[in-house]
Structure 1
Amino acid sequence: MRGRVGHRATHPTYPTRPTRPIRLGVRSVATLTLVSVIGLIAVGWPLFADGASAVTTHAADAPWFFAVLLPLLIAVVVATIADSGMDAKAVAMLGVLAAVGAALRPLGAGTAGLEPMFFLMVLSGRVLGPGFGFVLGAVTMFASALLTGGVGPWMPVQMLAMGWFTMGAGLLPGPAEGGIRGRRELLMLSAYGFLAAFAYGTVTNLYGWVTVGGLGTGISFQPGAPVGENLARFLAYVLATSLGWDLGRAALTVVLTLTVGGTLLKALRRATRRANFEAQVTFEGSGESLRSEPPHRT
């Protein structure tokens, strides 16, 4: 892009400071809260149901859960765009990151939980913010399920859990002038990725634990049992079945974040600046400058 100021060609100069995550407005907060509450109820209600409830048919609810989740994801996208004033370039970037994440997932499938897509979700959520981060996580999981043939009653819960995983990275203290920088930021993201990888496994395990039968009496779900007793059984179930998988996922997320996270963060932030996600562009010429800025927001 070129212009003429003072009879000399000018070139856009992009700011060098880290880009703030895309801000979360009132509408985005409302839609994210709604979808999160619905998700928590859909995943956790069997723990509070009495013994006469049909909790063993919980897997049959998956199509309905997906039917509710999909329009809510669209609502999050619309609300985030309305709050931040972004254009089609933001949606295009979302699609590219979702495609890359979906392609990364099969690389470690079936190998001790080594799933490189999780570190990409952490860094993307960090840069794009919680609203788009939530949608990115859910859409990436949906695309990867189609790619790997992993479509099943567990898919809506995986989409929701990955959405929360990516959204959480966007809610971490954002980089700004005087904020967390460099190595300290990577350490923070690594710690979050490690803990959130276990949280993701916990949410998806809870759904499977309720619907999978034939487990040992000490770890199986007992409809109508006290919540404390079922939680103790659930902990034993996690230790017996998925702890090693969750540990592998968490460890790989930490390693990739610390080794290549800095480079990828710079690339993502450069892309958001060039897409004009709340960025300033300065046109420098001979003795004069034109500055293009987003409108002031209160």
Structure 2
Amino acid sequence: MTGARALRVEPRRTRAITLRPRSAAAIAAVSLAGVVAFAWPLLVDPGTALADSTNAPLLFSLLMPLLLAVVLAEISEGGLDVKAVAMLGVLSAVGAALRPVGAGTAGLETVFFLLILGGRVFGAGFGFVLGATTLFASALITGGVGPWLPFQMLGAAWVGLGAGLLPPLRGKAEIAMLAAYGAVAGLLYGVALNLMFWPFTTGLDTELSFVAGAPVVENLQRFVVFSLASSLGWDVGRALTNAALISLTGSIVLRTLRRAARRAAFAAPVTFAAPVTFEPGPPSATSTAPTTAHTQTTSG
């Protein structure tokens, strides 16, 4: 009985993508660069090239795809097999198809709950790649390609990564944990993107404007007021959508994904062997002896 309870509380985790030390270091490096790219309005000094609000986001939007490409290449080298690629393609396509359903209207974004459940089942590395590829594919479908896309890809990658790092639970406790995580992740995703857009949208002469070189506390207060006044409704809507979808469909989707993970057997090595062929050879003496004896008896 104790063993059964232990299995329910601490299930065996699936790792569709193995994060080797170099892959983990690459994710940590691009995440650190992403934090700087998102939070630059709070860090930049006046008089520098980045103080111009029209330069910094464009510079980071060119840098982030290169960093993401390095991370994806590092992960794919030895840690991404054919079965993981197939599963990644299926879930990315489903997520890209789901995104236009919500289209972000009033924060009703239907793509993040699948990223969270996919990262939960298949691991942190898979969740990171799934978030980036899903947002990229959905941007191609919806025409949402622009300087903001690398930031959206990285933010979604963080959402999937975090889902894979959550503690192991099962049953109602797992669904409650994932729903709460979905709500928090939805809010933080909106805050991060607001921080990137903030210098572009407020102008220079308002109380909500970004002021290059101002004290961090002052700019942070301006940003908080800006977020409350501009996008709080969308961020709350995204958070509630994530929590509701996970609560309603989480059990079914988790069972389906875990069944697929068991059948895929990502941990089992894949080997390719040449087919065995049988070539006819000359009849042996033992096989012809009975026939000879029978012929002699008949003739006699």
What does 1:33-48 align with in structure 2 at a 5 Å threshold?
Answer: 33-48=28-43
Aligned equivalent of 2:143, options 149, 156, 165? 149
Q: Once the 2 structures are TM-superposed, how far is the Cα of residue 210 of structure 1 from its aligned partner?
A: 2.3
Q: Which residue of 2 aligns with 1:97?
A: 91
User: Gapped runs of 5+ residues in structure 1?
Assistant: 1-15, 175-179, 281-298
Q: Distance in 2 between matches of 1:170 and 1:198?
A: 18
Q: Which consecutive segments of 4 or more residues in structure 1 shift more than 6 A? A: none
What does 1:206-285 align with in structure 2 at a 5 Å threshold?
Answer: 206-214=195-203, 217-278=206-267
Q: Once the 2 structures are TM-superposed, how far is the Cα of residue 44 of structure 1 from its aligned partner?
A: 1.7
Larger helix percent = 2
User: Highest CA radius of gyration, 1 or 2?
Assistant: 2
Aligned partner of residue 36 in structure 2, secondary structure: helix
Q: Distance in 2 between matches of 1:231 and 1:47?
A: 7
Alignment identity in percent? 52
What does 1:9-88 align with in structure 2 at a 5 Å threshold?
Answer: 19-22=12-15, 24-54=19-49, 55=51, 56=53, 57-78=55-76, 81-82=78-79, 87-88=81-82
Letter in 2 for 1:102: A
Aligned partner of residue 112 in structure 1, secondary structure: helix
Q: Distance in 1 between matches of 2:234 and 2:167?
A: 29
Q: Once the 2 structures are TM-superposed, how far is the Cα of residue 263 of structure 1 from its aligned partner?
A: 0.4
User: Gapped runs of 5+ residues in structure 2?
Assistant: 1-7, 270-300
TM-score by length of 1: 0.80
Q: Distance in 2 between matches of 1:36 and 1:269?
A: 28
CA contact (8 A) 2:23 2:74 kept: yes
CA contact (8 A) 2:37 2:60 kept: no
Letter in 2 for 1:78: S
Q: Distance in 2 between matches of 1:125 and 1:192?
A: 12
Letter in 1 for 2:21: V
Q: Which residue of 2 aligns with 1:283?
A: none
1:127-174 Cα shifts (integer Å, max 9, x gaps): 111111111101111111111111111111111111001110001013
Letter in 2 for 1:46: P
Range with greater deviation from structure 2 (160-169 or 210-219) = 210-219
Range with greater deviation from structure 2 (63-72 or 126-135) = 63-72
Q: Which has the higher contact order (CA 8 A, sep 6+)?
A: 1
Q: Distance in 2 between matches of 1:70 and 1:32?
A: 9
Range with greater deviation from structure 2 (105-114 or 50-59) = 50-59
TM-score by length of 2: 0.80
Q: Distance in 1 between matches of 2:260 and 2:94?
A: 15
What does 1:134-173 align with in structure 2 at a 5 Å threshold?
Answer: 134-173=128-167
Letter in 1 for 2:198: W
CA RMSD of aligned residues (A): 2.2
Q: Distance in 1 between matches of 2:179 and 2:258?
A: 18
1:15-55 Cα shifts (integer Å, max 9, x gaps): x9955131544233212111111111222233211111233
Q: Distance in 1 between matches of 2:70 and 2:23?
A: 11
Larger strand percent = 1
Distance 1:120 1:224, change over 3 A: same
Letter in 2 for 1:112: A
CA contact (8 A) 1:76 1:131 kept: no
Q: Distance in 2 between matches of 1:201 and 1:249?
A: 8
